Structure 1
Amino acid sequence: MPALELPLVNADFCDRLRDALLRTGYDADGVVGVLGGAAHAALGRGEPELAARASADAGDLGVLIRLFLLGSAEPRERVRAALAPLDVDDALAAGLLRPADDGVRAGLDLRPHGDDDGSWWVLADLDSDQLGGPVPADHVLGVGHASLSLIRATSRRPVGSLLDLGTGNGVQALHASRHADRITATDVSARALDLAGATFRLNGLDVELLRGEWFAPVARRRFDQIVCNPPFVVGPPRVDYVYRDSGLAGDDASALVVRQLPAFLTEGGVGQLLASWLHVDGEDWADRVTRWLPAETDAWFVQRDVADPGLYVGTWLRDAGLDPRSAEGRAKASAWLDWFAENRVAGVGFGFVTLRRRSGVTPTIVCEDLRQAFDDPLGPEAAGWLDRVDWLRDNGSRLLETVFTVPDTVVLERVDSPSDDGWSTTVRRLHRVDGPGWQHELDELATALLAGCRGHLPLEDLLGLLAAGHGQPEGALTEAALPVVRELVRHGMLTPVEQA
């Protein structure tokens, strides 16, 4: 493990802390077991009282829950018992704890974080609520909504090498340890690398840590997979907080990562990142992000949200612990909004980007909105999307010869309106009920075509029958149908029989 360390948070310190956490059951399952579903959910909403009551009689585990998850001051002797064999004085000297008038409080955010296969611990800085004021410029975030979104959007297929660019507290690398043989984590922030290194030691993981800006620490290297949660906040070129601000103007940070990332991938390697992009008056957002792409790169831009500039500024001010009503908050908001106005920014888009290095072929580039809520993680869908793109690239000239079927996870919704002849269908909407829940509105002919896709006849025969039955020219019908078929294949709503 690299020598970058928080003072005194060395291997021995982490070993003793791990022993205490294992002994008390301070892990994802243990915390939920003590709190119960209702109190755990309330704590996630920032409502601690139910959790405080539930943990009152939970012994040493209850002490750690109140100390690290509720931010409570706990009597020194209780903390000494809960953290044994780690000494309280050592924890204070290392910054894990801080003195309080009535005992000790958490000095760092230490919380369990789990997946379906187990649990880890993540070390980060205290947030503005825990500190009772704004965070410092080198603040290292805990596991927030953005981190969780990227975790769910990342493909987990086995890879040899993985780069976590801008690792922060290291949580992306923790999840990468499930499917990557070798992990490299970089960050421009020395404090982030210190905390990530402590997180990795605490969890017994061997991760290569490198410090530097963007891709400089891994120059001339390539990886099978790259994940990146960059400082993607858009606005004036300034750095108030390292975790969110790049010092680049507008959406240039996202553009930089998209432009440079494919060069650090092995052939067929995949990069996945969170990104933001400007919605500029008179410009299509898809045209903007497409211009960022280098050659020979498959790309899937999925826009999850578009924020109004005023709402965007207020959200990020509060995120840093600044009151938008304060003099400092208003001054920063004013400068931010002036920059948006000068650059004709109508909104800020946010979403996921999947990139793949593909040499010697015409790349597939798709930009689409995915605003609806969905429960399934996007990572498996991204991997499946790339597979389907490959199939279309290899079989695009043979679509008419292909036998298709509509998966059982796809259903058709009809909306009928009253008419002079009774009920008339006005909307035909195809739904995929798994994954991200894709939807497509169809006309009557497309609906009839899909009804015939039951794994028996090739597409060409179905189109011939459809044309004859509806009195349509077969050539024109085919020309109109093929783009729809390609889109439905990409979205997993129409499957070639050999893949079914």
Structure 2
Amino acid sequence: MLKSPSEFTAGNTPDAPRSDLPHLLTALAADLRQLDYTLDGVARLLGPSASAALNRDQIIPALLETERAVRRDEGNAALAAVVRLWLLAEPQAGETLDAALPGIRAEGLLTLGLVQPVPGSGLLRAKADLRPYGWDANEDGSGGAELWVASDLAAHQQEGVLRHDHVLGIGQASTTLVQTTIRRHTERALDLGTGCGIQTFHLLHHCQHVTATDISERALAFTRFNILLNAEALSVDPARLEDRVSLRLGSLLDPVAGEEFGLVVSNPPFVITPRTAGEDVSEHFTYRDGGLPGDDIVASLVAALPDVLAPGGTAQMLGNWEVTAGSEWQERPQAWVRPGIDAWFIQREQVGPEQYAETWLQDASEGRDRQHYRDAYAAYLADFESRNVNGIGFGMVWLRRPPAPELPITSRFEEITHPIEHPIGPHLGAAVERTDWLAAHGLEDAYLLVADDVTEERHQRPGAEHPGVILLRQGAGLRRTNLLSTELAGFVSACDGDLTAGQIAGALEALLGGGMAGEDGFDAGPFRTGLLADVANLVRDGFLVPAAK
């Protein structure tokens, strides 16, 4: 760990690409751009089927397609050679790379540490993964980017178990966090546990300055390389990197102690790993193992993140949490949240100890040694059994330090396992805005409309006079389904922006509440209160939205 939060500037970290040779980075970027080594370019080369297989880490269809491209040499042989080198880990001849990448050539790739010789063959093989990455522009034309991202070779690209300081590439968890993050302009943002830097790339498009931290020096070296390789697309001046990015070496929040940020994002090493007495820290897979027992790494972050949030600042992260026998999944996460902090947890899935062990043993290719796999599997099961754990949840976490202490606190813990829309971040942000709007304005004088993506569904028995089930469904965002009572269905049907919520509730109270009070003594006051509480939930969830008046 650094003694102070000074810049990580090393450009020649062992076994990581060099970032201290700007002329070679410029030449490499120009070559890759000229070659059309982009997401679209690679997709056109491989075709839909081979591209889909490669996204599943199945390389054989892509190998066959690129072999045909090289054999036919119809103008895309150079791109095929580069795809084979970095995406498929197929060694290439130096002269082939010289022709494909004439600006940097094979010698420059060797100097940067992106390739290495295959002994006795005269070929060069990938020393790191280098692949295209990008995202589309917003409707106003802003925000799109085409980048190249270096990381360590993945399990399907090499033999043996992954190195313990493995720098993970762009995976499902990192893209999930990208899609989940609520994007808003922020002066200072923190990428906690940056890895190869994917969260930082996105933050640089809407934040003035990003601090990226990691416990791994190699991870920071990859991040620095990736930022400088894509300096133009990320609006970074290579000669003044510190103006926009600060790279810090250290554990969790240690490198930023005493600082505050408007936005924190983190894909932390949340994987629950069995602990052993006297274990060697160097044997941890640092990209996924935070070194703490059980789900303590996520618990400690949820509790500590508010310390680095500015007033109104938010934190978003992914995490695992243990579910003990006889308890509800949210019991542990609820205990982690400090008083006075807004929190929203969404559990996306829950698996048993066996499936959890299989997932993470496969992730690091630990099944290639039969005895090691058996011992490691047994250690997972024994570890979970020692804490009476029968399930492990995975999901998304949103935290906020309220902008003012007198505001009501948001606390939501919900399970949503069905498919949702991506990116979901804009919809989560809109939900937070609606919750804040309700706290500031209330419902009585509000004009409401049914959201454009909402449809109503009614079911009734044949011959029945009235439907037995009335459902509201969302076609966008979290795609919720809400079961409506008769009075709530009547309220929704009247939300055309002409009457206030209070007026609609009053009419329904007179029509339904009063009749019920006359028949069985039901008090009309609770009718109205309960109805408006249900309406408030529909507003929070986006079925109803405030009308502009």
Q: Check 1:414–1:91 CA distance in 2 against 1; reply closer, same or farther (3 A cut).
A: same
Give 1:94 shift.
3.9
Letter in 2 for 1:150: L
| Alpha-carbon distance in 1 for matches of 2:465, 2:332 | 44
Q: 1:304 aligns with which of 340, 345, 348?
A: 348
Query: 450, 461, 474: which is aligned to 2:492?
Result: 450
Q: Residue 170 of structure 1: CA displacement?
A: 0.3
Aligned partners of 2:99 and 2:105 also within 8 Å? no
**What one-letter code is carried by the residue in structure 2 that aligns with 1:182?**
H
Match of 2:248 in 1: 210
The superposition leaves residues 295-318 of structure 1 with CA deviations (integer Å, 9 ceiling, x where unpaired) of: 332111111111111101100000
Superimposed CA distance per residue, residues 96-150 of structure 1 (whole angstroms, 9 cap, x where no aligned partner)? 1122336222110100001001211111001122112210100010100000100
- Paired residues of 1:67 and 1:106 also in contact (CA < 8 A): yes
**Percentage of matched positions with identical amino acids:** 35
Q: Which of 40, 48, 57 is matched with 1:29 structurally?
A: 40
Q: CA deviation at 1:460?
A: 2.6
For the residues of structure 2 that align with 1:159 and 1:366, how far apart are their CA atoms?
24
Residue 483 of structure 2 is aligned to residue 465 of structure 1:
no
Deviations along 1:182-237, one digit per CA (max 9) or x if unpaired, are 11100000110111111111111432111000111111111111110000112434
Supply the distance in 2 between the matched residues of 1:102 and 1:369 (Cα, whole angstroms).
55
Q: Equivalents in 2 of 1:74, 1:441: separation in Å?
A: 60
Match of 2:53 among 32, 37, 42: 42
Instruction: Identify the residue that residue 267 of structure 2 maps to in structure 1.
Output: 229
Decide whether the 8 Å contact of 2:86 with 2:126 is kept in 1: yes
Shift of 1:391: 0.9
TM-superposition CA deviations, 1:146-167 (whole Å, max 9, x none): 0010000011222111110000
**Cross-structure match for 2:367:** 323
Q: Among residues 133, 144, 148, which one is paired with 1:113 in the alignment?
A: 133
Secondary structure of the structure 2 residue equivalent to 1:347: strand
CA distance in structure 2 between the aligned counterparts of 1:218 and 1:290, rounded to whole angstroms: 26
Does 1:496 find its partner at 2:546? yes
Deviation at 1:54, TM superposition (A): 3.8
Return the letter of the residue paired with 1:372.
H
**Residues 424-443 of structure 1: per-residue CA shift (max 9 Å, x gap):** 63322211111121221112
**Aligned 8 A contact 2:353 2:381 in 1:** yes
1:181, distance to aligned residue in structure 2 (A): 1.1
The corresponding residue for 2:190 is 163
Q: For structure 1, which segment, 488-497 or 4-13, has the greater mean C-alpha deviation from structure 2 after superposition? A: 4-13
**1:475 to partner: Cα distance:** 1.4
Separation in structure 2 between the aligned mates of residue 414 and residue 344 of structure 1, nearest angstrom: 43
Unmatched segments (≥5 aa) in structure 1: none
Matched, 1:374 2:385: no
SS of 2:460's partner is strand
Further displaced range: 387-396 or 98-107: 98-107
RMSD: 2.0
Amino acid at match of 1:216: D
Amino acid at match of 2:378: S
2:505 maps to amino acid? L
Change (3 A) 1:17 1:324: closer
Moved more, 236-245 or 67-76: 236-245
User: Does the residue aligned with 1:472 lie in a helix, a strand or coil?
Assistant: helix
The answer to which of 280-289 and 61-70 deviates more is 280-289
Which amino acid in structure 2 is aligned with residue 40 of structure 1? Answer: S
Once residues 275 and 93 of structure 1 are traced to their aligned partners in structure 2, the CA distance between those partners, rounded to angstroms, is 38
Which residue does 2:525 correspond to in 1?
A: 475
Tell me which amino acid in the other structure corresponds to 1:477: F
- Written as runs of structure 1 = structure 2, the 5 A alignment for 1:45-84 is 45-55=56-66, 56=69, 57=73, 58-84=76-102
What TM-score comes out, normalization by structure 2 length? Answer: 0.86
CA deviation map 1:380-417 (0-9, x unaligned): 01211221121122124xx2332222122111122333
Please say if 1:362 is aligned against 2:362.
no
CA contact (8 A) 2:488 2:535 kept: no
Asked if the contact 2:8–2:249 (Cα under 8 Å) also holds between the matched residues in 1, the reply is no
Match of 1:438 among 480, 485, 495: 480
Residue 136 (structure 1) aligned with residue 163 (structure 2): yes
The 2-side partners of 1:275 and 1:153 are apart by 13
Check the 8 A contact 2:344/2:413 in 1, yes or no: yes
Give the letter for the 2:391 counterpart: G
Q: Secondary structure at the match of 2:516?
A: coil
Residues 325 and 211 of structure 1: CA distance in aligned 2, closer, same or farther (over 3 Å): closer
Query: Distance in 1 between the 2:261 and 2:82 partners?
Result: 39
* 3-state SS in 1 of match to 2:251: coil
Aligned residue number for residue 413 of structure 1: 457
Whichever residue aligns with residue 104 of structure 1, its letter is L
Deviation at 1:488, TM superposition (A): 1.1
Which ranges of 4 or more aligned residues in structure 1 deviate by more than 4 Å? none
Range with bigger deviation, 466-475 or 24-33: 466-475
Q: By how many angstroms is 1:14 displaced?
A: 1.8
Pairing partner for 1:425 from 457, 467, 475: 467
Residue in 1 aligned with 2:139?
none
Q: Which residue of 1 aligns with 2:116?
A: 98
SS of match in other structure, 1:464: helix
What's the counterpart of residue 175 of structure 1? 202
Where does residue 391 of structure 1 map in the other structure?
Answer: 437
Instruction: Tell me, in whole angstroms, the C-alpha distance in 2 between the residues paired with 1:417 and 1:83.
Output: 69
Q: What is the TM-score of this pair, normalised by structure 1?
A: 0.94
* Corresponding residue SS for 2:168: coil
1:35 deviates by 2.4
Q: How many residues are matched?
A: 495
Partner of 1:4: 10
- SS of 2:212's equivalent in the other structure is strand
1:191 is matched with which residue?
218
Q: Is there any run of 5+ residues in structure 2 with no aligned partner, and where? A: 1-6, 137-143, 518-523
- For the 8 Å contact 1:324–1:333, the answer to whether it is kept is no
Structure 1 residues 219-228 or 489-498, which shifts more? 489-498
Distance 1:437 1:344 in 2: 34
Aligned position for 2:520? none
Distance between the aligned counterparts of 1:48 and 1:282, measured in 2?
44
Deviates more, 1:22-31 or 1:422-431: 422-431
Q: Provide the rounded CA distance (Å) in 2 between the counterparts of 1:25 and 1:200.
A: 19
What secondary structure sits across from 1:334 in the alignment? helix
TM-fit CA distance, 1:346: 1.6
